[in-house]
Amino acid sequence: FWANPGVNMADCHAHGLSATPYVDLKSQRYDFRGEIIEPFKYVDKLRFNASRVNYQHGEIEGERTANLFKNKGLTTRLEFVHSPIGNLTGIWGIQYLEQKNSALLPEDSATHKHKHRGVQQLLNNNKMQNWSLFGLESYQWNDITFEGSARLEKQKVTKDYDHEKVRNEFLSLGYIDSKRPETAHAMDNYYTLTQAHKETARSFALGVHWAFKENHK
């Protein structure tokens, strides 16, 4: 119960006949793409694209919005196609992805304070950020093409928590100022669990293509 603002599933789907639920949805997307030919020496092409998405839908029950789901995302990508080095060609680039999600009461969704404990609150405000570096190189030797690629990603996910509310909850349960050894460091453990999650991913790929016959590979 301390990881989310409060989930109570006892009657969240007990809709009355006069309050048939429906969804009010709004989605916007903007895209921008561009390419420059031979922007500078050793680079044949410079490509850029960016996308912005703003999505939300409210679950309406009668005249009341029970939950407001929000998802805002941004993706940007920059690619460099380098000039051939003998029989070697390739592309390198960088990408950034950011995404914000929540599923809360409209009041809490607007203020980010999550005051309405004890009602259906599905997903606290969270933010994901991802940086990526990638590259692909190809080498042509007679009828054989050798390929190698690599990608490095660093991701960080942060989430909002009401630390004061959790501390009060721990106090009411006797988890703080208690002589029990298992609760002596309850808040310290809680703060550790609520730190931003960070991960790094690495991937590699190798490939060989042999054009052993016309129109066959």
CA 210, chain centre distance (Å)? 39
Residue 122 vs residue 95, higher pLDDT: 95
Contact by Cβ (8 Å): 205, 149: yes
Closest CA to 100 of 58, 78, 71, 141: 71
**What's the average model confidence in pLDDT over 18-31?**
87
pLDDT of residue 119: 62
Q: Is 17's pLDDT higher than 70?
A: no
Question: pLDDT band for position 94 (50/70/90)?
Answer: very high
Q: What is the mean pLDDT of residues 27-40?
A: 96
Q: Which amino acid is at 154?
A: K
Residue 27 near residue 54, CB atoms below 8 Å: yes
Return the higher-pLDDT residue of 18 and 42: 42
pLDDT of 84 above 90: yes
Stretch 165-182: mean pLDDT = 80
Number of H helices, E strands in the chain: 3, 7
For CA atoms 166, 171, 173, 177, give the dihedral sign: positive
Largest CA distance in the chain: 80
Does position 83 have pLDDT exceeding 80, yes or no?
A: yes
Q: Does the structure show a pLDDT above 50 at 61?
A: yes
CA neighbours closer than 13 Å in the CB half-sphere of residue 62:
7
pLDDT at 125 over 90: no
Q: Is the pLDDT of residue 156 over 80?
A: yes
Residue whose pair of structure tokens reads 């009461």 in the numeric block: 105
Residue 197 has pLDDT above 70, yes or no: yes
Supply the pLDDT for residue 198: 96
Residue 4 pLDDT: 47
Task: Record the tokens describing residue 58, joined without a space.
Answer: 């409210």
State how far the alpha carbon of 36 is from the alpha carbons of 47, 79, 84, in Å.
7, 11, 17
Nearest to 66 by CA among 116, 1, 32, 133: 116
Determine how β-strand 123-141 pairs with β-strand 43-61.
Answer: unpaired
